[in-house]
Amino acid sequence: MAVSGCGSYVLVILFVISGCQSCCFSSFCGRGWQKWGNSCYRLTDQSVVGLYSDVEERCKSLGGEIAAPRSAEENKWFVELAGNIEYLWIACTSEDGEQWFCNGQKQKFDNWYRGVQNEQQRCASLCVNRGEPDDCALGKWLFVTCNAPANHFPAICVIRPSSQLK
């Protein structure tokens, strides 16, 4: 008997042998998504740039959420995926300006630029500008205001296996 969506006996055997919970997921991300590690990523359309809340809704409509790099390697991959874009929203926010959470959790990896944060800056962007102006260094995270008119960036959306298999 074939597993729905996977379509082969080999996958059933693989599932039993390896205990794989996301065999189908890891082999196919879907149109417009790119696999990296065990997750699928997608840059929001260039025409869909906006405030943090706008891009957050766009990622949800695609079945994912705004991504935040969880390692130096993933951070570097985000820069490569962004291409010629200057800044990307990343899913790191703060309610008090002191404790930062990425995708709702404290995480071990961060790559903050050593700039000064003001109290309105409760969201984060990833600098991917190759020109590296004074306030931006390639791959660094910047404190930004979530709803400032000047802050209209795209984002990288992510679908992780755990969210796909609920």
| Residue pLDDT, tens place only, 149-158 | 888 889 999 9
Q: What are the pLDDT digits (tens) for 88-103?
A: 999 999 988 788 999 8
CA–CA distance, 67 with 61 (Å, rounded to integer): 14
Range 31-164: architecture per CATH = Roll (3.10)
> Looking at residue 131, what is its pLDDT?
60
Q: Which residues pair with 65 in a beta bridge?
A: 158
pTM of the model: 0.75
* Residue with more model confidence, 29 or 5: 29
> Looking at residue 141, what is its pLDDT?
92
> Looking at residue 41, what is its pLDDT?
95
Q: Are 52 and 89 in contact (CB under 8 A)?
A: yes
Ordered by start, the domain boundaries in the chain are 1-29, 31-164
The answer for residues whose C-beta is within 8 angstroms of residue 64's C-beta and 6 or more apart is 40, 42, 157, 158, 159, 163
